[in-house]
Structure 1
Amino acid sequence: MDYEHLRFDRENPLTERHPRQYRGGYRPDDPKAYGTTLGRRFSQVRQRELTTDLDGFDNRKLLKLRLHSGDKSVPNFEAIPGVEIVSQEDEAVVLVFTTEEGLNQFESRLSTLARDGVVTRKELLYAIEDFDNWTAEDRRGVALRNEGLPNNDLFMLDVELWPQERQDKREELIAAFSRWLRDLGAEQLDIIIQPSLLMVRIRCNHEQVNQLLRYRDVRTVDLPPRLGVSIGLISTDVNQFPPINPPPDGVPSIAVLDSGLTPGHTLLGEAVGDVQGYLEPQRSPDDTAPDWHGTFVGGLALYGDIHTRIQQGEFVPQLRLFSGKVFEDDGHDQTEFVEKAVETAVLDIYEQYGCRVFNLSYGDLNKVYDGRHVRGLAYTLDRLTRELGVLFVVPTGNLSLQDLPENPIDTYPDYLFSDEVRLLDPATALNALTVGGLSTFEATRETQRYPNTIEDYVFARSGQPFPLTRCGPSVNNAIKPDVIEHAGNLALMRDGGRVRYSGLGIVSLNGGFATGVPFAEDIGTSYAAPQVAHKAAKLLAEVPNANPNLLRALLGAHARWPQPCVDLINPRDNSVGRDKLLRLIGYGQVDETALYRSLNDTVTLLAEEHIDNDRHHFFELPMPESFWSRGRREREITVALAYSPVVRTTRLDYRSSKLWFTLVAASSLEEVTRAFRRNREEGMGERSNNRWLPNDTRKTGTLQVSRWKFIQPLSNGNKIFVVVTRQDSPWSLERDAQEPYSLAITLADRENAEAELYVQARDALQSRVQTRARAIV
């Protein structure tokens, strides 16, 4: 039997967490000599800035502070009059705007330190290892550094400006930059103005780029997006299917933001709610080729595993599908920012139809994550998730076939960990669900045709990482991808060594179905993402009011590392192997067995709460006595926490709020709360026996999952508690606001053939509610 997942509440005690303060790190042995050296460097940089940088929208100067390594917290440099922190680019680099007063303050304090060895707020100066300028080389984006400028006389570039917290300052900066572009003779094509993202797409020449790279308000200059989407389409030989019945009223909906949809496909039919375009200028449907990529992705979002549907011989839509065209899949440059088209589409589809799950199978090959700040589209998705309460599902992106190493089979999977194979924007988005690739089949079409000969050499075995998947982590080492799904496989031909994948791909709907072929085959993480989005949308049928945090927590709690991946990387007793697996496959593949409904032997507990800064929440798990009975066998507890904090691209932390959970065993709630009271920095140590992932590994992301196995009952009749803690970053503007979060906790007793875990856990929760009610009376 299956059952509705159980809701449960936290316990009443709340405790404060001791706020962490910056106490300074580096201490020079000779403060006077340190002040003299630092003062000399400051004078050199100050003079150089006057002669190299072009002025911005006001008369402040941009100063790069290089910090001593080892301390990720940023000192409060804004305590110095006339100094404003602009951005933290990495652990060692902080950018500040300074007025003339601020420059003089720096110079005066350094002179005092050099003379007396003592100065007010000396820890601020001790934190600085060096002063420098934000140079033209610093302003070059990753793609521009790697590929250089186009050879054309005129070309497009994306210019990111320094974000401004105040709206009037944002508008003033943009207006000044637009005037400067006109005077320069460059053409402004599009613009994005968001609280932590200012971007301008321009058309310019080589000489104008040299000026751009010196303009004070420019953060980065980079090449515009280069899509890593469809690698190729191969039709599969399957029969036509009869028209489908429309889905019932009230089913959940899913939106595909892609290159468009061909709604006339027989297997889409009345399951499509609406198809809209969000690009300017709009093209007539008669002027466009079939929407191959969008239709392929849309089929997977609507049906999930189409290969299995074909084998079963029926297609029954359980979701309503919406389509928003936000990019062209025609290889031509797009003058409009995809960030703008995505935001317009999401707002429109959300407001008109209440859609809460959006798939965006998009990856910008010109924005390979370089370990610094999160780029434009990822930030946009993180912000919209928070503001609207919607879930975005995105792929990690694909490695290009031409970028494979010389001997890819011999070096698989090691080549997947190189810097060139890191995540593509928007896969770094912390509040979105990022999906990596898993290999599916092992026999190419030629191998199937000639089963007695060796025709091809496959890269990966079934269940191992997809040979073109990209790896994490994201900002601040957050685990990405979150989960994985089937994306296809690759093989080398026996003769000639050419790469091919016919017979190894994912099957979905063919946008060019008018040719008489309704299905097509392709490979890529673009097709892994909609399969996960399909599962997320189906969850809404069982948990109708689930917010994106709860959806992510549920998917994370039911994810598992595929055994072939574990055997390949071998993480046992090896933190290096474990970290490699996390970079490639995250928390693993989502198992649907008990995802939507609880079972007799697998129970899922759900909680949704709001927590204040520097506080703890306590949850006692309803553990029936039978869970610990009958001696040695494997029992399992999985905890998943998800939240969607406010984000800022100008801070290395990126998250304004930091939440994490701790699982502990204790005799009573009172014992736990005493340990987590104020001034106790660590609380109780987390249970580490048979723990999957430690806190330090999982807590940097906004989806955090770990699992505990219990072979024997707990000693001394101890109980299990989960403690949720919040501590905001010092720069957070949300410190006084409550932070919403969701928990999904699974209790599994699969080796007990007589398990009645669901009924017993439900009864324990009902008894707890009655006890609390009597206490109130």
Structure 2
Amino acid sequence: MPRLSKPGTGRQSARLSPQFRELTAAFDAERARLAETAPDEVDPALVVVFDLAGTVQDFQNAIDKIDGFEFLSQLLGDRTDPDDDFHMTEREAGRTNKPVQHSLYMVMSSAKAIDELLRLFALWQADPSAKFEHGLGKFKDAFHQLTSIRRWGPEDRIRETGLRERWQETLDMIGQSVSTVRVEVELWYRRDSSQRAAAESHVEQVIAASGGRILDRSQIGDITYHALLAELPIQQVRTVLTDGAAAIRLLTTDDVMFVSPFTPMTVAPAATDPVAEVRLPAGERVEGLPRVALLDGLPFQNHDALTGRLMIDDPEDLGDNYSNAARNHGTAMASLIIHGDLSAPAEPLDRPLYVRPIMRPHELSTTHEQVNPERLFPDLLHRAIRRIQEGEGGRDATAPSVRIVNLSIGAQARALARRMSPVGRLLDWLAHTYNLLFIVSAGNHTAPITIPATSASTVETARHAATRAVHEKSILKGILPPGDALNALTIGATHNDGLGDTETSDAVWDITDPGAPAYYGATGPGVDRSIKPDLHHIGGRALYVRPVIVPGQDKVDLELAHTALTGPGLQVAAPGRSGATNRTIFTFGTSNATALVTREASRLFDILEADVDGKEDSPLPGPEYHPLLVRALLTHASSWGEWEARFRRDLGIPAQDARRKLSAMLGYGRLDTARLGAAATNRAVLIAGGRIGGDQRHTYELPLPPSLRSRAAWHRFTITLAYAVPTVGQLTRYRGAKVYFDTPDTKLAAGDRIEGEHFTVRRGSLQHELVQGSRAMTFGDGDAFPIHVECMDDAQHLPKKKNVRYALVVSIETAEEVSTTIHDEVRARLRQQARERAQERVRS
């Protein structure tokens, strides 16, 4: 394991002393500025950044021990090239060329606290082994690893938000026709409510002084979120682009953490005059309590596919101004959740679908829809879920029976890789607090694919070039919020649908392999290199316009073709002109895949709630584990299959890098719905649920079937663990605890780990591993395959009385020609174990 090499005390003193002097001067200047308007001397408060090489565990606790310091947040810093001061070393190789990872600790500081910091630094300079006061010892480690100490500045506030790039696009495209722009201003979340109020008031004054105004405000303490939705005059945009971020006061205000472009998701209709029809049998109104909530646009509830099947909750009366022509996205998603692909409709859901509209018609186009542009997206979702689960305004919860929430829309914001988005943090907290399964789309990137003109001669050469081009641009096609949430199931799309073969003109090309990940889908990894998207499912086939090659042209663009009227794609309900209630269109996207996975999730809930196992079987885990069990079962039925060999070949990925790189691209693979909720004689599945505390281990044993003993035949073990992770919003490590199963016993399994990379699969809250082999297993009568589930601290210490809820799914399978008795063998052994435990209880 590489270790960080740090400079000595003398070198750190030479490096850091000028930075401390500069920081002290900044406080003096701020004090002088405040004195111009304040009658009494004021101790200014500035945000100070400790930039450390590596990390110092629990450093934030030491920070809070100093009077005048308030720890605000930790962020993952840049990876820097090694130098003589900071570099990585290995025991045998010595100094390496590996980059050095930095951590940023943001601290609200007074001048008094800086004086105390300087005192500690002087003590450390004089004697690095000097004993500091109780609780401050971590500062000695920090001084060793400190690469710089500085103020949080204007560039910090916009570096990762994409503000400058979006503002440049705004000026280039519509700069002369708009007078204002909207931004989300995220403030540092202060622990004291009066300090939050003062900070908000100050920022509001800064915005008003620039000619702007506040449209919305939100504080969500459980995720340390404090933000304002502001409208700024276009002159502010021109000033930043001309003179830099420091040229406007908003970006120099210490109370401000980040400023992001506010870009609520906008959806255009796939077609404005659908002509295809669907014939569905007349259905009666569906009764019962809803299990699935759809947060989306308002559906056309009189459509033949939807009538009598929706429970619409519209507290903001959006429907009063929501024309039928604009009710496209919600109609399509509701159609897919209830019926699936209308080209191959299946049994509809037998419960009503709860719908909460969070979109509205676009103010500039009556057929487009837009997430409410007057509201901060995290606050909108927070209020919607609390209304469902708790109620609001003194009224009862509107749908407390809901266990699944479908979010096929998201934030049209820059994908983040170094910190969890605010809406991602929110979903993690909501899923953990209310025990909900959020199923979220990974997001679409529909810009043209640029390939060499020499590769555009045939469909086959274009396919290979497009695959390489998409992979090379993957960093620009990241997961869109809230698909970054760890406790949510994030869905990518595959290139298939139920329409079958279709005739297409020579002007369009089908350049995606059947069943392969769609080119337009967002790719991972997630935050901290976690697996995202978690899995892929049917999104509908997307075709591309055949490019026209101009002589001398080096590059050509492959643009998505419009196939909404004729297909291919998933066939969905759509609002028709003149009140037609049976029109459909063909669409594609990760939204579609998300809706179809939601449908499968509801089907799994049906099975778990029915609990049809025999009296001799152990009961299934109770309802409190069902959301996690469904998340685990959906993932358990997913794998890369032939994708691994195809992408390794097409992208030329070396064997040693394949699993790491493909984990980011493919997640846990493609969902095989045939493996969901259906018994198979050649496969045995064990499911469990439990609660585990810190430093505990739970061991489960899957009985080994005698029919596989000493047989050199293909077999596979699949292990999937899902848990509801408590989160810590201010820390880079983010997870409050880490639950995982230990490395599977590949020797006993007579196989090798395949697919997901070993370290990557443990970075989220969903671990999925496969062990596959063809060697003969050697085991005795009654032997079992052990799975050890463990819990350890991660971002913080898990209190003794706290535990983490988890679900586990384990299976063993082989080919049918090898054995068709595995299910019965394992079941018989489990029943025997249950009888033995019952006898033990009687004897005791």
Question: TM-score interval w.r.t. the shorter chain?
Answer: 0.7 to 0.9
Instruction: Give the counterpart letter for 1:204 in structure 2.
Output: L
Instruction: Please state how far the C-alpha of 1:176 moved relative to its aligned partner.
Output: 5.1
TM-score normalised per structure 1: 0.85
1:154-187 per-residue CA deviation (whole Å, 9 max, x = no partner) reads 2221111112356565455445544665566532
Contact 2:431 2:488 in 1 (8 A): yes
Contact 1:642 1:742 in 2 (8 A): yes
Q: 1:435 to 1:34 in 2, by over 3 A?
A: same
Instruction: Give the counterpart letter for 2:814 in structure 1.
Output: D
Q: What percentage of residue pairs aligned between the two structures are identical?
A: 20
- For 1:751-770, list aligned pairs within 5 A: 751-752=816-817, 754-770=819-835
- 1:754 and 1:156 map into 2 onto residues whose CA distance is 63
1:305-328 per-residue CA deviation (whole Å, 9 max, x = no partner) reads 32212xxxx764444212111123
- 2:423 and 2:153 map into 1 onto residues whose CA distance is 25
Contact 2:448 2:560 in 1 (8 A): no
- Could you say what secondary structure the match of 1:67 adopts? strand
Instruction: Give the counterpart letter for 1:579 in structure 2.
Output: R
Is residue 102 of structure 2 the alignment partner of residue 64 of structure 1?
Answer: no
> How many equivalent pairs are there?
726
Q: Name the stretch that deviates more: 730-739 or 217-226.
A: 730-739
Contact 2:325 2:575 in 1 (8 A): no
- For 1:619-658, list aligned pairs within 5 A: 619-626=700-707, 628-629=708-709, 631-658=711-738
Is residue 625 of structure 2 the alignment partner of residue 561 of structure 1?
Answer: no
Instruction: Please state how far the C-alpha of 1:492 moved relative to its aligned partner.
Output: 2.4
2:344 maps to what in 1?
A: 308
1:483 maps to what in 2?
A: 535
Contact 2:492 2:521 in 1 (8 A): yes
Instruction: Please state how far the C-alpha of 1:75 moved relative to its aligned partner.
Output: 6.8
Instruction: Give the counterpart letter for 1:138 in structure 2.
Output: D
- 1:348 and 1:286 map into 2 onto residues whose CA distance is 22
1:255-307 per-residue CA deviation (whole Å, 9 max, x = no partner) reads 211111111000112222x112355x735156563311110111111122322
2:153 maps to what in 1?
A: 135
Is residue 113 of structure 2 the alignment partner of residue 102 of structure 1?
Answer: yes
Instruction: Please state how far the C-alpha of 1:387 moved relative to its aligned partner.
Output: 1.1
Instruction: Give the counterpart letter for 1:637 in structure 2.
Output: F
1:10 maps to what in 2?
A: none
1:588-630 per-residue CA deviation (whole Å, 9 max, x = no partner) reads 122122311332222221111111112221111122322x236
Contact 1:59 1:99 in 2 (8 A): yes
Instruction: Please state how far the C-alpha of 1:575 moved relative to its aligned partner.
Output: 4.5
1:98-149 per-residue CA deviation (whole Å, 9 max, x = no partner) reads 3334211221222233344544432121121111221111101523132226
- For 1:295-374, list aligned pairs within 5 A: 295-309=331-345, 316-328=348-360, 330=362, 334-350=373-389, 351-353=397-399, 354-365=401-412, 367-374=413-420
Contact 2:746 2:753 in 1 (8 A): no
Is residue 746 of structure 2 the alignment partner of residue 698 of structure 1?
Answer: no
1:16 maps to what in 2?
A: none
Instruction: Please state how far the C-alpha of 1:250 moved relative to its aligned partner.
Output: 5.1
Contact 2:214 2:230 in 1 (8 A): yes
- 1:439 and 1:228 map into 2 onto residues whose CA distance is 23
Instruction: Give the counterpart letter for 1:473 in structure 2.
Output: P
- 1:25 and 1:123 map into 2 onto residues whose CA distance is 14
Instruction: Please state how far the C-alpha of 1:542 moved relative to its aligned partner.
Output: 0.3
- 1:163 and 1:758 map into 2 onto residues whose CA distance is 54
Is residue 574 of structure 2 the alignment partner of residue 510 of structure 1?
Answer: yes
- 2:9 and 2:751 map into 1 onto residues whose CA distance is 44
Instruction: Give the counterpart letter for 2:114 in structure 1.
Output: L
1:551 maps to what in 2?
A: 630
Contact 2:693 2:804 in 1 (8 A): yes
Q: 1:203 to 1:498 in 2, by over 3 A?
A: closer
Instruction: Give the counterpart letter for 1:423 in structure 2.
Output: I
Q: 1:622 to 1:733 in 2, by over 3 A?
A: closer
- 2:202 and 2:601 map into 1 onto residues whose CA distance is 44
Contact 1:243 1:269 in 2 (8 A): no
Instruction: Please state how far the C-alpha of 1:244 moved relative to its aligned partner.
Output: 3.5
- For 1:653-664, list aligned pairs within 5 A: 653-664=733-744
- For 1:44-443, list aligned pairs within 5 A: 44-48=22-26, 51=29, 59-69=44-54, 76-78=61-63, 80-82=65-67, 83-91=69-77, 92=102, 93-119=104-130, 120=132, 121=137, 122-140=140-158, 141-148=160-167, 150=170, 151=175, 152-165=178-191, 170-171=196-197, 173-174=199-200, 177-178=203-204, 181=207, 186-195=212-221, 196-205=224-233, 210-227=248-265, 229-230=267-268, 232-233=270-271, 238-246=276-284, 253-272=291-310, 274-279=311-316, 282=318, 284-285=320-321, 289-309=325-345, 316-328=348-360, 330=362, 334-350=373-389, 351-353=397-399, 354-365=401-412, 367-402=413-448, 409=463, 410-416=465-471, 417-440=473-496
Q: 1:169 to 1:405 in 2, by over 3 A?
A: farther
Instruction: Give the counterpart letter for 1:217 in structure 2.
Output: D
Instruction: Please state how far the C-alpha of 1:517 moved relative to its aligned partner.
Output: 5.4
- 1:237 and 1:156 map into 2 onto residues whose CA distance is 38
Contact 2:49 2:106 in 1 (8 A): yes
The answer for unaligned runs of 5 or more in structure 1 is 1-22, 669-685
- Could you say what secondary structure the match of 2:726 adopts? coil
Is residue 526 of structure 2 the alignment partner of residue 474 of structure 1?
Answer: yes
Instruction: Please state how far the C-alpha of 1:528 moved relative to its aligned partner.
Output: 1.3
- 1:574 and 1:183 map into 2 onto residues whose CA distance is 59
Q: Give the structure, 1 or 2, with the largest relative contact order (CA under 8 Å, sep 6 or more).
A: 1
Q: 1:764 to 1:26 in 2, by over 3 A?
A: same
Is residue 509 of structure 2 the alignment partner of residue 457 of structure 1?
Answer: yes
Q: Name the stretch that deviates more: 716-725 or 130-139.
A: 716-725
Instruction: Please state how far the C-alpha of 1:438 moved relative to its aligned partner.
Output: 1.0
Contact 1:634 1:749 in 2 (8 A): yes
- 1:288 and 1:335 map into 2 onto residues whose CA distance is 22
1:436-482 per-residue CA deviation (whole Å, 9 max, x = no partner) reads 1111279999x7156xxx54332311111211111111111110000
Instruction: Please state how far the C-alpha of 1:578 moved relative to its aligned partner.
Output: 2.6
Q: 1:50 to 1:194 in 2, by over 3 A?
A: farther
Contact 2:694 2:798 in 1 (8 A): no
The root-mean-square deviation of aligned C-alpha atoms, in Å, is 3.5
Is residue 592 of structure 2 the alignment partner of residue 500 of structure 1?
Answer: no
Q: Name the stretch that deviates more: 157-166 or 189-198.
A: 157-166
Instruction: Give the counterpart letter for 2:388 in structure 1.
Output: I
- 1:607 and 1:588 map into 2 onto residues whose CA distance is 23
1:349-376 per-residue CA deviation (whole Å, 9 max, x = no partner) reads 34333111111111323x2223122112
TM-score normalised per structure 2: 0.79
Q: Name the stretch that deviates more: 244-253 or 339-348.
A: 244-253
- Could you say what secondary structure the match of 1:225 adopts? coil
The answer for unaligned runs of 5 or more in structure 2 is 35-41, 78-101, 238-247, 363-367, 390-396, 454-461, 550-557, 610-622
Instruction: Please state how far the C-alpha of 1:424 moved relative to its aligned partner.
Output: 1.0
- 1:67 and 1:296 map into 2 onto residues whose CA distance is 49
- 1:230 and 1:603 map into 2 onto residues whose CA distance is 46
Contact 2:287 2:352 in 1 (8 A): no
Q: 1:520 to 1:254 in 2, by over 3 A?
A: same
Instruction: Give the counterpart letter for 1:321 in structure 2.
Output: L
1:746 maps to what in 2?
A: 811
- Could you say what secondary structure the match of 1:652 adopts? coil
